[in-house]
């Protein structure tokens, strides 16, 4: 059985998708079977980040009962698997968010790690994503409004009985106008498991439709994401699941890759 890690935040635009993709890719480099799921049903991003903007079957189809989850898994050339959501405005409505936890549970049997890229805040889909997670990572930026909202996210997750694995502070510049890490630490009631610097390498990776841990493996951002992946694995590493050749060998390759 895999571990489901939900990447959430109070505010949008803080770096959740970047974190979900790069943690997924870093765990994949550590030979783990990883599926990154785009649980932004209204404004999906994972497929765009990894060069699969339009695909025939998405999470939206699965939630509508029109397809099985296995049909919505696509493989990036790097080996990381993704389940995209639909960009079509026709698919925006009528999906059943209540089915999200059950669908994610099915993925647990197919991978070592299922990483959920959540919508921001506490909408129905965001709450269903937290519900579906075994462990929660809260992404924040080093500024008061973002940290305040992160504290709320930590509390909401705990009230739902979820383990908050920790906070990832992203787009950190070390400038005097930013909230100091010591203040972030004392304000949030959870450990900081990584501090990711602001780096143009992240935008360059987006341009190449790949994770920065692949495009710029020696950048500080990549080193930091690799460190978080190792922390998630723990000292002995999660036990490797048996290879599921039957399922993953049938996956489609993504289109639009460089």
Interface residues toward ligand ADP, by CB under 6 A:
9, 12-18, 45, 170-171, 196, 198-199, 202-203, 206, 221
The 8-class DSSP code of residue 234 comes to -
**Nearer of residues 19 and 28 to Mg ion, judged by Cβ:** 19
Q: What are the residues facing 3 on neighbouring strands? A: 113
Query: How near is the Cβ of 66 to ligand ADP at its closest, in Å?
Result: 26
**Nearer of residues 138 and 254 to ligand ADP, judged by Cβ:** 138
State CA 101 to chain mean position distance.
Answer: 15
Would you tell me the crossing angle of helices 124-132 and 100-108 to the nearest 10 degrees? 30
Give phi and psi for 25, each to the nearest 5: -65, -40
Query: How near is the Cβ of 201 to ligand ADP at its closest, in Å?
Result: 8
**80 contact choice in ligand ADP, Mg ion, none (CB below 5 to 8 Å, kind-dependent):** none
Binding flag, residue 58, Mg ion (CB under 5 A): no
Scan residues 9-28 and list those touching Mg ion (CB under 5 A). 16-17
**Nearer of residues 184 and 196 to ligand ADP, judged by Cβ:** 196
* Rounded-to-integer distance, Cα 229 and Cα 28, Å: 9
**Nearer of residues 110 and 188 to ligand ADP, judged by Cβ:** 188
* Rounded-to-integer distance, Cα 71 and Cα 117, Å: 19
At residue 46's C-alpha, the angle toward residues 40 and 47, to 5°, is 110
Residues that bind Mg ion (CB under 5 A): 16-17, 45
């Amino acid at each position: 059985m895999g571990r489901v890690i939900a990447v959430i935040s109070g505010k949008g635009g803080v770096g959740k998708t970047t974190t979900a993709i790069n943690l997924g890719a870093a765990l994949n480099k550590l030979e783990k079977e990883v599926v990154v799921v785009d649980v932004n049903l209204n404004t999906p991003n994972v497929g765009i980040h990894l060069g699969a903007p339009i695909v025939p079957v998405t999470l939206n189809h699965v939630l509508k009962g029109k397809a099985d989850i296995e049909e919505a898994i696509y493989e990036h050339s790097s080996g990381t698997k993704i389940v995209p959501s639909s960009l079509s405005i026709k698919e925006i409505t009528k999906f059943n968010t209540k089915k999200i936890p059950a669908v994610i549970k099915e993925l647990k049997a197919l991978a070592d790690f299922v990483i959920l890229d959540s919508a921001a805040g506490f909408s129905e889909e965001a709450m269903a994503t937290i519900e579906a997670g075994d462990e929660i990572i809260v992404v924040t930026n080093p500024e008061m409004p973002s940290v305040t909202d992160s504290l709320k996210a930590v509390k909401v997750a705990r009230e739902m009985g979820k383990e908050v694995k920790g906070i990832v502070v992203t787009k950190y510049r070390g400038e005097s106008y930013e909230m100091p890490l010591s203040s972030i630490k004392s304000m949030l009631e959870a450990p900081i498991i990584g501090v990711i610097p602001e780096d143009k390498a992240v935008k360059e990776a987006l341009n190449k439709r790949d994770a920065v841990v692949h495009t710029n493996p020696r950048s500080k951002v990549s080193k930091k994401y690799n460190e978080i992946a190792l922390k998630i694995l723990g000292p002995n590493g999660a036990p490797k699941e048996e290879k599921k050749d039957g399922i993953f060998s049938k996956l489609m390759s993504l289109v639009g890759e460089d």
